[in-house]
Chain A
Amino acid sequence: MGIAQWRDQLRSGEVSARELTDQHLKRIEAVEPSVHAFLEVTAERARADAERIDAARAAGEALPPLAGIPLAIKDNLCTKGVRTTCSSRMLENFVPPYESTVTERLWNAGAVLVGKTNLDEFAMGSSTETSAFGASHNPWNPERVPGGSSGGSAAAVAAGEAMAALGSDTGGSIRQPASFCGVVGLKPTYGRVSRWGLVAFASSLDQVGPFTTSVADAAELLQVIAGADPRDATCLTAPVPDYRAALEQPIKGLKVGIVRECFSADGLAPEVAAAVMAAAETLQALGCELVDVSCPRFNDGIATYYVIAPSEASANLARYDGVKYGYRSSGSDAAGDSLAQMTARSRAEGFGDEVQRRILIGTYALSAGYVDAYYKKAQQVRTLIRRDFDAAFQGVDVLLTPTSPTTAFAFGAHAEDPLAMYLADLLTIPANMAGLPAISLPCGFDSQGLPIGLQLITGVLQEPRLLQVAHHYEQAAQVMASRPVAPLVP
Chain B
Amino acid sequence: MASTSAAVKTTPSSGELLPWEAVIGLETHVQLGTNSKIFTSASTAFGDDPNTHIDPVVCGLPGTLPVLNRKVLEYAVKAALALNLHIAEHSKFDRKQYFYPDLPKNYQISQFDEPIAENGWIEVEVAEKGKDTYLKTIGIERLHMEEDAGKLVHAGSDRLAGSTHSLVDYNRAGVALAEIVSKPDLRTGREAAEYASEIRRIMRYLGVSDGNMQEGSLRCDVNISVRRGPDATFGTKVEIKNMNSFSAIQKACDYEIHRQIKAYEAGEPVVQETRLWDEGKQLTKSMRSKEGASDYRYFPDPDLGPIEVGAEQREGWRSELPELPAAKRHRYAEQLGLSIYDARVLTDERAMAEYFEAAVAAGADAKTVSNWVTGDIAAHVNANRLSIAELPLQPEQLAELVQLIDGGVISGKIAKDLLPELLAQGGSPKAIVEAQGLGMISDPATITTIVDKLLAAHPAEVEAFRGGKTKLQGFFVGQLMKQTGGKADPKLANQILIEKLKG
Seen from chain A, the residues whose Cβ lies within 8 Å of a Cβ on chain B are 76-78, 84, 86, 91, 94, 96-98, 100, 195-200, 202-204, 230-234, 311-312, 314-315, 318-319, 321, 323-325, 339-340, 343, 363, 366-368, 371, 375
Contact = CB atoms under 8 A, between A and B. Distances in A.
A98 B95 CA distance: 24
A-B pairs with lowest CB-CB distance, top 4 = A318-B106, A204-B302, A203-B302, A366-B297
B303 A234 contact: yes
A343 B302 CA distance: 25
Task: Identify which of B95, B107, B299 gathers the most chain A CB atoms within 10 Å of its CB.
Answer: B299
B99 A340 contact: yes
B25 interface: no
Nearest to A195: B65
A419 B64 CA distance: 31
A311 B302 CA distance: 11
B61 to A, nearest CB: 7
B99 A343 contact: yes
Interface residues of B, number: 29
Interface string B289-311: 00001010111001111000000
Contacts, number: 101
B50 to A, nearest CB: 14
A319 B106 contact: yes
Given A231-B67, A318-B99, A368 B295 contact: yes
A218 to B, nearest CB: 23
B62 interface: yes
B468 interface: no
Contact of A196 (B64, B107, B302): B64
A367 B297 CA distance: 5
Interface string B47-70: 000000000100111111111100
B62 A84 contact: yes
A318 B105 contact: yes
Contacts of A343: 99
Nearest to B39: A233
Contacts of B295: 367-368
A323 B106 CA distance: 11
Interface in B95-113: 95, 97, 99, 101, 104-107
B168 interface: yes
Contacts of A312: 299, 302
Contact of A78 (B63, B95, B106, B298): B63
B62 A319 contact: yes
A343 B98 CA distance: 13
19 contacts: A78-B62, A78-B63, A86-B62, A96-B63, A97-B61, A98-B64, A195-B65, A199-B63, A200-B63, A231-B65, A231-B67, A233-B304, A315-B95, A315-B297, A318-B99, A318-B107, A321-B99, A323-B168, A366-B299
A367 B107 CA distance: 14
Task: Identify which of A86, A98, A363 gathers the most chain B CB atoms within 10 Å of its CB.
Answer: A98
B59 A324 contact: yes
A232 B66 CA distance: 7
B63 A234 contact: no
Nearest to A369: B295
B312 to A, nearest CB: 21
Given A97-B56, A199-B63, 18 more contacts: A86-B62, A91-B62, A196-B64, A200-B63, A204-B302, A232-B67, A234-B302, A234-B303, A314-B97, A315-B95, A315-B107, A318-B105, A319-B60, A319-B104, A324-B60, A324-B104, A325-B59, A343-B99
Contacts of B297: 314-315, 363, 366-368, 371
Contact of B66 (A98, A233, A323, A325): A233
